[in-house]
Amino acid sequence: MVIGRHAIRAGRLLAMLLAVAAPWTAANAAGDDFGRFLDVAKGYCVTAPARSCVNRLWPFADRNRDGALDLGEVQALEKDAGAWAQTVDRKRNDPERDTTLVVLMVLKQTGLPKVFDSFDADRDGTLTPAELFADFRFDKRPFAALAGDPSAVDWASFGNRFGPIGTLLASLLRPAPRRSQTAPPQH
């Protein structure tokens, strides 16, 4: 099923990109908050238009409510995501956990400040939703449909933001080329 493959890719993409929207509260463990965030993101963002999904979830990450994320907010998220990934049962197949661990590895390899700077187009030390999703062409479709449409995501640019390892990351996330429906010529 085609949408099934795109939904899986979109779930992985959401776990990586929308991870910036994990809620934080002093009363709850960081890992619990991140897990709850992923549950909400998967439920809402599967059918909601991608822009609506971002608008709904962005306030969770924007701890100081200034409309943008600073490096400290993103570093706190990185810590929360790591705590969550360590609490998930390692014996079960969990795509969100696996993707989160891959993203954390990429961030560690590349360096979070470097990745942050690559998204910070105006160099003001903060990320807006427009900067974080600059490689996406939002329309009325949900992330699953966008992730499956090569013309809706500039995967090369997205991958370049993560340095040399970003090419690998982008290749894991971008849709596989469609196979031709016509049979090869017979000789």
How does residue 89 score in pLDDT terms, banded at 50, 70 and 90? low
**152 domain residue, yes or no:** yes
Which residue range is the domain that position 7 belongs to?
Answer: 2-173
User: What was the pLDDT predicted at 186?
Assistant: 59
**180 domain residue, yes or no:** no
Q: How many structural domains compose the chain?
A: 1
47-57 pLDDT, tens digit per residue, is: 999 999 998 88
**Which residues are CB-contacts of 11 (< 8 A; sequence separation ≥ 6)?**
42, 46, 95, 96, 99, 144
pTM of the model: 0.74
